[in-house]
Amino acid sequence: MSSLKLLCLPYSGASAMVYSRWRRKLPTWLQVQPVELPGRGARMGEPLQTDLRALARQLAQEQRLTASEPYALFGHSLGALLAFELVHELQALGCPAPVALFASGTAAPRRREDYDGRNWREPKSDSELIAQLRELQGTPEEVLANEELMSLTLPVLRADFLLCGRYEYVRRPLLRCPLHVLAGAADRASDEQLRAWGEETEGEQTLAMFPGGHFFIHEQEEQVFEVIAQALEERRQTSRPLSLAR
């Protein structure tokens, strides 16, 4: 294949804009396509969703034409869980399997209860959400102190946490694609929770660890790009399975 599309799904509280610079940083043969979720960015006027599988079905209908050509998916945190469900929904519509799925910054779907303890099944207060943002260390204090920005961000974050907290894993046939897991060494997902992603596919599975915490994808951006580009370049040039150093 001469080129392929990379659908990128954002983490909780974010819009597709978090991936906008990826278009300039990744190889030109890789067409980065950030996927905007309802209720943010260009889709600000649409209602926020709190049912993750329903959201995946909606996105599958929107992306089915894109998925008729060679494509891969990348998702971080909430985005990884959503990308996983999106692949299943696309395949249910008859779309081909992706070239690869990159799941970043979270435990495997079947290990969600171990990971978050169902702590986010009910809506959280503004103060609880801000405390969580501080714990994740991905939001500058000046942003947290900006009431106008927070008034826009917190409703999205609250809905996104409900997407994760209310998610119910359903066992289905294994995916038919390589599944590459990326994680920060100081993030809270355990090695066992990360490696459980490998139970979701009959394709190759790899795990790449990076220095840093939950937002290692920004802290170690160049290294993340290298892993993605290496995997997809190899896949672009040959039909043999991908092979990444663990």
- pLDDT, tens digit (0-9, with 9 covering 90-100), for 125-169: 878 888 877 877 767 788 778 878 888 888 998 999 899 989 999
Supply the residues annotated as catalytic: 77
- For position 1, what pLDDT does the model report? 59
How many separate domains does the chain show?
A: 1
- For position 239, what pLDDT does the model report? 46
Cα→Cα distances 213→76, 77, 78, 83, 161, Å:
13, 12, 15, 21, 19
Tell whether the model's pLDDT for residue 118 goes beyond 70: no
**CATH for 71:** 3.40.50.1820
- For position 132, what pLDDT does the model report? 79
Contact indicator for 176, 201 with CB cutoff of 8 Å = yes
Tens digit of each residue's pLDDT (9 = 90 or more) over 171-208: 999 999 999 999 999 999 999 999 999 999 999 999 99
Domain-embedded: residue 213: yes
* Residue 116, H or E segment: helix 112-116
Average pLDDT over residues 76-82: 97
The rounded distance, in Å, linking the Cα atoms of 5 and 155 is: 31
- For position 103, what pLDDT does the model report? 98
Domain-embedded: residue 122: no
Cα dihedral 3, 5, 175, 191 sign: positive
Domain-embedded: residue 155: no
Domain-embedded: residue 71: yes
Which residue segment(s) compose the domain that 48 sits in?
4-117+171-237
Domain-embedded: residue 157: no
Tens digit of each residue's pLDDT (9 = 90 or more) over 22-54: 999 999 999 999 999 999 989 999 999 999 999
Domain-embedded: residue 244: no
